[in-house]
Copies of this chain bind each other. A is one copy, B any other.
Amino acid sequence: MDTCNKISKFLQKSGYECRVMGVPKTIDNDLFGTDHCPGFASAAKYIATTTMEVYLDARVYDTGMICVIEVMGRHAGWLTAATRLANEKGCGPDLIYLPEVPFDVDKMVEDVIRIYEKNRKVIVAVSEGVHTKEGLFISEIGAGDDVAVDSFGHKQLGGTALVLADILKKATGAKVRGIELSLMQRCASHCASQTDIDESFMAGQTAVIKALEGLTDYMIGFERVPGKNYKCEIDLIPLDEVANTEKKVPRDWINPAGNFVTEDFVDYALPLIQNETCQQIVDGLPRFAKLKKIFVQKP
């Protein structure tokens, strides 16, 4: 959205007439000014589904087992919080750590040991972006200054689950598995939410219509209509207001101890993951749309 804003301002300064509308898409769900972002709900559905499956897998043997599931999210914990939806079906994590709350490794080890001694099974969901109160990411604890940087200058994260699994293995002697949901959480279209797809379509369509009507410098946002049944309407938010402001999980949607997510998040996210897509399957595998280049001769 910051890029949209910069391009539009530059074109205006250069006297080039062009209308710029921001169509949001980010599974991170961290854009300011909109109830949620296209893409988030489908990733959340995959993450909650997978968490349920991993929960059951961890219970096929009666030996002890600790699973650390690492979910994307550099500064905002929306995706990691989505594991909480699995608790509604009795197959969710015991502990959830988001980057919104400073992460204390010793406290986490205590939490895990307490649950492990009681249940012999612990599922931990952790955001890749959790960091100590000094601002140190978990993947940096081992790696020191040797952390790669992406093209935006953000530190490339990853490895949080493995570092924590290693710490927990040493602290408990138990079988511990670190699982990174990696690219799958953002590309598992076979597990998409139809609600998400419908809203994404609506967002793109509205952007084109509004631009044709003469509007510019707005982002398409969603506004939730109050009431018992879920409904979202389109909202237009000035790009200036959206750019470079991150929306995080509210502190009061996280429990006081900072190791779980409250029912407020469930009320927010559960409506978004409803309805399954009728994905086209050919030969037992997904059929994806292909855009073909069509050469149109100019008149």
Interface residues of A (CB under 8 A from B): 45, 48-50, 52-54, 56-58, 63, 67, 85-86, 88-89, 91, 151, 162, 177, 179-180, 182-184, 186-191, 193, 270, 273-276, 281-288
Q: Is B54 in contact with A187, judged by CB distance below 8 angstroms?
A: yes
Chain B residue with the shortest CB-CB distance to A180: B180
CB distance from A191 to the nearest CB of B (A): 6
> When chains A and B are docked, how far (Å) is the Cα of A286 from the Cα of B67?
20
List, sorted by A's number, 30 A–B pairs whose CB atoms are closer than 8 Å. A49-B190, A49-B286, A50-B184, A52-B288, A53-B183, A53-B184, A53-B187, A53-B188, A53-B286, A54-B183, A54-B184, A56-B288, A57-B186, A57-B187, A86-B285, A89-B282, A89-B283, A89-B287, A89-B288, A177-B182, A177-B183, A179-B183, A180-B182, A184-B184, A190-B191, A191-B191, A270-B283, A273-B284, A274-B284, A276-B281
CA distance A214 to B191 in the complex (A): 45
Interface centre among A49, A283, A285, A288, by most B CB within 10 Å?
Answer: A285
**7 other A-B residue contacts (CB within 8 Å) besides A54-B187, A57-B187:** A48-B285, A50-B184, A91-B288, A177-B183, A179-B184, A180-B180, A273-B284
In the complex, which residue of chain B has the Cβ closest to the Cβ of A282? B89
When distances are taken between beta carbons in the complex, the residues of chain B under 8 Å from A162 are 162
For A49, the chain B residues whose CB sits under 8 A away are 190, 285-286
Alpha-carbon distance A52/B45, docked complex (angstroms):
19
Bound-state Cα–Cα, A87 to B268, Å: 39
Whether A182 and B179, one on each chain, are in contact in the complex, defined by CB atoms closer than 8 angstroms, is yes
Q: Which residues of B contact A86 (CB under 8 A)?
A: 285
- Chain B residues with CB under 8 Å of A282's CB are 89
CB distance A284 to B182 under 8 Å? no
Asked whether, in the complex, the Cβ of B284 is within 8 Å of the Cβ of A270, the reply is yes
Task: Give the distance in Å from the alpha carbon of A75 to the alpha carbon of B273 in the complex.
Answer: 39
